[in-house]
Chain A
Amino acid sequence: MKRVGPLLLSLLLAAPVASTALAQEFPSRPVSIVVPFPPGGSVDSVARVLAAELAETTGKVFVVDNRAGGGNGVVGANEVVKSTPDGYTLLFNASIHVVTPLLNKKVPFDVINDFTSIAGVAAGPLIISTPPSTKANTLKEFFAAVKADPDSFNFATSGYGSAGHLAIESLKAQAGIDTDVVSYKGAGPALSDLMGGQVQLMADPMMSSLPHVKSGRLKALAVTSATRSPLAPNVPTVAESGMPALEMLSWYAVWGPKNLDPKAAAYLSDAIAKVVKSDKFKDKLTVFGFEPMYKNSTELQAFVVDESKRYADIIKAGNLKVE
């Protein structure tokens, strides 16, 4: 017990020194970008590209921190909510961040009010594809065939509540079909069953689906962006494929805990804007089938509110189970 006194004293003396050092210039130590999933997925990959570019342009240290406890990214996001809002702990997440609380009422935070929106970073459409053995060449023909023989068709998603799941639910509602969607754990096994003809329709990001479309193992029926994607110019939009227009992007953004230190927020916002608007970032994202999608803090906040409402409507229309 003897040693505690001096230790406390030195801490007390050191504390004001440390805090003034922090106040001088924002990133005086490494900034941790929390990715609430294990390494290797698309969220992690885009986060790593962003972190590397941020480090290069600012000369500061940005570290990707995988906090994967829990299957849906809630644990990692909650750690960011509970962190000090000094700008050293950020959250990098995808559209699922907004969808999860709509499906699971027990999520311990409010997506709109418990975070500070920093910047939108990237977005990409999904490819809706079917095995080559399917006769239909457009979504219109496909859903006509489903209507005629509903038991011969199955729909898949790489994860419950993913952008792809919502896209399919939305199409089903338009076509007036109520077959449930089969959920998989990840794009790998789902695509395997799609190529093998076990299931007949899936909407999935370009990164995992486009190579199979190019090799002819899958037949693309549509992309889920408002206009055709430059990465797959031959694939029509949902409207061109004969269904009511649909835009369903998989998108990525950076958040901080609520009441983020304004100085840190301004610094991060500038640094991220510079990276996202660069050609190099654009080139690096192309590989993943994504494009830069810059949104400043206000735009991102409005976007989250709009998307949340839109997803809630699809979930209601598709009659998805809400816990």
Chain B
Amino acid sequence: MEIFSALLLGLDQAVMPVNLLWCFVGVLLGTLVGVLPGLGPAATMAILLPFTMGLQPVTALIMLAGIYYGAQYGGSTTAILLNLPGETSSVVTAIDGYKMARKGRAGVALATAAIGSFFAGTVATLLLALFAPSLAEVGLKFGPAENFSLMVLGLLASVVLARGSLPKALAMVFVGILIGLVGQDVQTAEPRFTLGLDEMTGGINFVVVAMGLFGIGEVVKDLEHAESRSAISAPFLSMFPSREDWRRMVPSILRGTGIGTVLGLLPGGGALLAAFAAYAIEKRVAKPKEGFGNGAIEGVAAPESANNAGAQTSFVPLLTLGLPANAVMALMFGALIMQGIAPGPTLISDHPKVFWGVIVSMWVGNLMLLVLNLPLIGIWTKLLTLPFRYLYPAILIFCAIGTLSLNNSVFDLWLLAAFSIAGYIFVKLDCDAAPLVMGLLLGPMMEENFRRAMFLSRGKVSIFVDRPISAGLLIVAVLVLILVIMPRFRATREEAFQE
């Protein structure tokens, strides 16, 4: 019953008025930056980091954590309403969510996302409290070989998930990998494909590419035929899911939560991979009558639950091992250090108030988000009636500010412009940008882990099949590949993406 006294200690911290206030500030800010395409939680947290030094450690962490999971809620809002994923983890939500909105079911889609996120957040918080220390051990079992195999699977999944033709999706993955290779080689620090520019030695920032392709590229496309977008302003009927909706979304939410919880623990995984994987699995399991890609509620419920669960469980390696799993966690790591707390295995015993306070605040924060979001859905949907001549310049400005806030680098703005043009060209060529982004994200990590694994095994390729977890992941990857090649599956897949 130790866990109860620990949770009580956490609750004691979480409901202190000052902590409640900052938790609210965090989730509100998070929702806001989630709604705004381009400005992500990492940029926001980085901007606010110096400011949190004046707060108590537990308060500062509660607020920063709130920004992260708040953004997962907010990110889905623009994905559903504008087909503009506010966060990369909401990319798949846009596929079915936007279709639902165009059918006049924007309110239901947003409610589904909020309910799914709340449920997943609650479950993930409970699991975090119960299993945090032992869960982290699973992540530790992953060496370079396992990471490589995991990424192979992730990339294959992104090809299967892509809209349009398979060869195009594969081509986009490779373009993404090539862009990802720009910058210093990890093993020898040799600059590659940098055109001799110092600004390129650190590689091309993922956020800039995503903003250019998804944010601006899409805006430009929509300006071509603005009437198609105004079609979404179909009557906003109701935000309450019908009984039929509930029946369909519950199993999806459960599956999404399970997948997200596990994938959030993995290094480099987190919310993004969780959402993609959940959508892929949903497409295998669920059989919506309208088909995926046509506004299936399952396609919103599963990835939204998964990204929120993943966002929350990605705190596990940080709080129990001091290992930041992604960029946002690296910022949390920085915040802890600035507060004079060394993140690591001793954190739970040395600073129980901080650990349990943050855990319980996540649940409190999720409750706030639910309360905050359900009424706000009305306001968010009003965004649709906003004339595009106001909305689009605003998006462009926020993308530019978001880009500049990353590194204070004007060079990044030029890159943003270049990728916006590329994004428009891809749209014209009917190439889905999602596989490119996955290639860009996973490609360099895959290369890094592949070379490291080869290095450790002294050049024996068998390391990837000798290690059981790695072999298991590769077998799944091969199965996915076989599925893709099978004509029957290809037919189903093309049907699923019919617009």
Which residues of A come within 8 Å of B, CB atoms? 38-42, 44-45, 48-49, 52, 64-72, 74-75, 78, 103-104, 106, 108, 151, 154, 160-161, 180, 182-186, 188-189, 191-193, 195-196, 198-199, 207-208, 210-212, 214-215, 217, 284, 287-288, 321, 323
B323/A40 in contact, CB under 8 A = no
Instruction: Output the least CB separation between B464 and chain A (Å).
Output: 14
A39/B408 in contact, CB under 8 A = no
Instruction: Output the least CB separation between B145 and chain A (Å).
Output: 9
Given A69-B407, A71-B183, A160-B187, A196:B142 Cβ within 8 A: yes
| Neighbouring A residues of B325 by C-beta, 8 Å | 188
A72/B201 in contact, CB under 8 A = yes
Given A39-B49, A192-B323, A67:B189 Cβ within 8 A: no
CB nearest to B145 among chain A residues = A198
CA distance A98 to B116 in the complex (A): 51
| Neighbouring A residues of B407 by C-beta, 8 Å | 38, 66-69
Could you list 11 further interchain pairs (A-B, Cβ under 8 angstroms) beyond the known A69-B198, A188-B330?
A38-B46, A39-B49, A42-B337, A188-B267, A188-B322, A188-B333, A189-B267, A195-B321, A212-B344, A217-B321, A287-B337
Sampled A-B contacts (11; CB under 8 Å): A38-B46, A40-B49, A48-B338, A154-B456, A183-B186, A184-B452, A188-B322, A188-B325, A193-B452, A198-B456, A287-B342
Given A52-B53, A182-B456, A207-B342, A192:B321 Cβ within 8 A: yes
| Neighbouring A residues of B409 by C-beta, 8 Å | 67-69, 75
Could you say which of B139, B202, B324 contacts A69, with CB atoms under 8 Å apart?
B202
B38 contacts the other chain (Cβ, under 8 Å)? no
B456/A69 in contact, CB under 8 A = no
Instruction: Output the least CB separation between A183 and chain B (Å).
Output: 5
| Neighbouring A residues of B347 by C-beta, 8 Å | 211
Given A72-B184, A193-B143, A321-B190, A217:B455 Cβ within 8 A: no
B345 contacts the other chain (Cβ, under 8 Å)? yes
Instruction: Output the least CB separation between B186 and chain A (Å).
Output: 5
A39/B331 in contact, CB under 8 A = yes
A323/B323 in contact, CB under 8 A = no
CA distance A286 to B155 in the complex (A): 43
What band does the interface of chain B fall in when counting residues whose beta carbon is under 8 Å from A?
35 or more
CA distance A75 to B412 in the complex (A): 13
B245 contacts the other chain (Cβ, under 8 Å)? no
A70/B202 in contact, CB under 8 A = yes
CA distance A211 to B348 in the complex (A): 12
B334 contacts the other chain (Cβ, under 8 Å)? yes
B408/A67 in contact, CB under 8 A = yes
CA distance A184 to B186 in the complex (A): 7
CA distance A274 to B341 in the complex (A): 25
CA distance A316 to B200 in the complex (A): 27
B342/A193 in contact, CB under 8 A = no
B411 contacts the other chain (Cβ, under 8 Å)? yes
B142/A104 in contact, CB under 8 A = no
CB nearest to A287 among chain B residues = B340
- Residue-by-residue, is B164-196 near A (CB-CB < 8 Å gives 1, otherwise 0)? 000000000000000000011011111100001
CA distance A196 to B344 in the complex (A): 15
B331/A40 in contact, CB under 8 A = yes
A69/B189 in contact, CB under 8 A = no
B141 contacts the other chain (Cβ, under 8 Å)? yes
| Neighbouring A residues of B448 by C-beta, 8 Å | 185
| Neighbouring B residues of A185 by C-beta, 8 Å | 186, 448
CA distance A286 to B370 in the complex (A): 42
| Neighbouring A residues of B199 by C-beta, 8 Å | 69-70, 75
Instruction: Output the least CB separation between B81 and chain A (Å).
Output: 31
B144 contacts the other chain (Cβ, under 8 Å)? yes
Instruction: Output the least CB separation between B456 and chain A (Å).
Output: 5
B408/A66 in contact, CB under 8 A = yes
B191/A68 in contact, CB under 8 A = no
Could you say which of B46, B196, B331, B346 contacts A211, with CB atoms under 8 Å apart?
B346
| Neighbouring B residues of A66 by C-beta, 8 Å | 46, 407-408
Could you say which of B50, B202, B342 contacts A64, with CB atoms under 8 Å apart?
B50
CA distance A192 to B143 in the complex (A): 8
| Neighbouring B residues of A284 by C-beta, 8 Å | 340
CB nearest to B184 among chain A residues = A71
Most chain A beta carbons < 10 A, residue from B144, B196, B337: B337
CA distance A211 to B455 in the complex (A): 28
Given A45-B338, A188-B324, A75:B198 Cβ within 8 A: yes
A161/B342 in contact, CB under 8 A = no
| Neighbouring A residues of B334 by C-beta, 8 Å | 39-41, 44-45
Given A154-B455, A154-B456, A160-B186, A74:B337 Cβ within 8 A: no
| Neighbouring B residues of A108 by C-beta, 8 Å | 198
Instruction: Output the least CB separation between A234 and chain B (Å).
Output: 16
B144/A71 in contact, CB under 8 A = no
| Neighbouring A residues of B455 by C-beta, 8 Å | 154, 180, 182
Could you say which of A52, A74, A182, A193 contacts B201, with CB atoms under 8 Å apart?
A74
CA distance A108 to B199 in the complex (A): 12
CA distance A217 to B321 in the complex (A): 10
Most chain A beta carbons < 10 A, residue from B143, B347, B411: B143
**For residues 377 through 427 of chain B, which have their beta carbon under 8 Å from a beta carbon of chain A?**
406-409, 411-412
| Neighbouring B residues of A182 by C-beta, 8 Å | 187, 452, 455-456
B284 contacts the other chain (Cβ, under 8 Å)? no
Instruction: Output the least CB separation between B161 and chain A (Å).
Output: 26
Most chain B beta carbons < 10 A, residue from A49, A64, A188, A207: A188
